[in-house]
């Protein structure tokens, strides 16, 4: 599904050079629920952004469905992001000026879909995250957990094959976190959506079926989570 080969990411500022990712090789298979763990600053977000085509690696090859994306134009990348990938960010990143349902419609906006159909799919996505009663609210009128559920609904609305979630529960208390986790697990189980999630929470990580550990820009472990460990 998504394949990373020899990915390096180096940030250069005037004084220092930070190697955020050092020769990373990773292949995420269709239908997997992968969690990524590692200490702060080890390059998890960088990795996720590169997987999601939001950022370019300094060197290495990113392939989506076997197709290297290096030579893709801005427009082609936008289309890939739009159709294949859904993002969930730690700090939600909802658009304040839009209502909940308009936020959820966002990925559909960049497709050739009628307004009525967009609305229908957005409402269905909100239904899945249990927010059918809050569609006309604005993000500022919602709790953190509700906001993250809106963000997940937005990621779902376009029916992407893969969802990339960067610490989706990082800003939430454990009860809310559990709720979000349940939604993601159900998505993976029932709809076969591939999910890659960065988390600091061992407990959450152990609910997924593959755990990758990072340290200093390098992959140090990649293990299937055994049912018994849960």
Is 45 a binding residue for Mg ion by CB under 5 A? The answer is: yes
Instruction: Output the smallest distance, CB 58 to ligand ATP, in A.
Output: 12
Q: Which does 11 bind (CB under 5 to 8 A by kind): ligand ATP, another protein, Mg ion, none?
A: ligand ATP
Contact 215, 42 (CB under 8 A): yes
Q: List, in order, residues 6 or more apart from 121 with CB less than 8 Å away.
A: 105, 108, 113, 157, 159
- Count the residues of the shown chain that bind ligand ATP, applying the rule CB under 6 A: 12
Tokens found for residue 160: 């992407």
Q: Which position has the token pair 């990758």?
A: 212
Rule CB under 8 A: say whether 168 interacts with another protein: no
The answer to whether the CB of 149 falls within 8 A of the CB of 130 is yes
36 makes contact with ligand ATP (CB under 6 A): no
Closest CA relative to residue 186, chosen from 217, 218, 219, 163: 163
| Exposure of 21 in the CB half-sphere (CA atoms within 13 A) | 26
Q: Of 1, 2, 37, 44, which one interacts with ligand ATP (CB under 6 A)?
A: 44
- The verdict on 18 binding ligand ATP (CB under 6 A) reads yes
Chain residues that interact with ligand ATP, rule: CB under 6 A: 11, 13, 18, 20, 38, 40-46
Chain residues that interact with another protein, rule: CB under 8 A: 49, 52, 54-56, 74-75, 77-79, 81-83, 86-87, 89, 93-98, 102, 106-107, 109-111, 115, 154, 158
């Amino acid at each position: 599904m998504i394949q990373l080969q020899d990915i390096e990411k180096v940030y250069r500022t005037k004084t220092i050079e930070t190697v955020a990712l050092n020769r990373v090789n990773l292949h995420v298979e269709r239908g997997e629920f992968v969690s990524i763990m590692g200490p702060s600053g080890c390059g998890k977000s960088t990795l996720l952004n590169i997987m999601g085509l939001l950022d370019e690696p300094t060197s290495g090859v990113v392939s989506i469905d076997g197709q290297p994306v290096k030579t893709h134009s801005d427009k082609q990348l936008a289309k890939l992001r739009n159709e294949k990938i859904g993002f969930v960010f730690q700090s939600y990143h909802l658009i304040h000026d839009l209502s909940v349902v308009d936020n959820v419609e966002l990925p559909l906006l960049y497709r050739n879909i009628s307004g009525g159909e967009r609305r229908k799919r957005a409402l269905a996505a909100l239904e899945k995250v249990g927010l059918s009663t809050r569609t006309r609210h604005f993000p500022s009128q919602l709790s953190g957990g509700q906001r993250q559920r809106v963000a997940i609904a937005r990621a779902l609305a376009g029916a992407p094959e893969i969802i990339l979630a960067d610490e989706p529960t990082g800003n939430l208390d454990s009860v809310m976190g559990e709720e979000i986790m349940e939604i993601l697990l159900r998505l993976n189980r029932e709809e076969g959506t591939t999910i890659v999630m960065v988390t600091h929470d061992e407990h959450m990580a152990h609910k997924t079926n593959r755990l990758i550990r990072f340290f200093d820009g390098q992959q140090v472990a990649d293990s299937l989570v055994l049912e018994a460990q849960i």
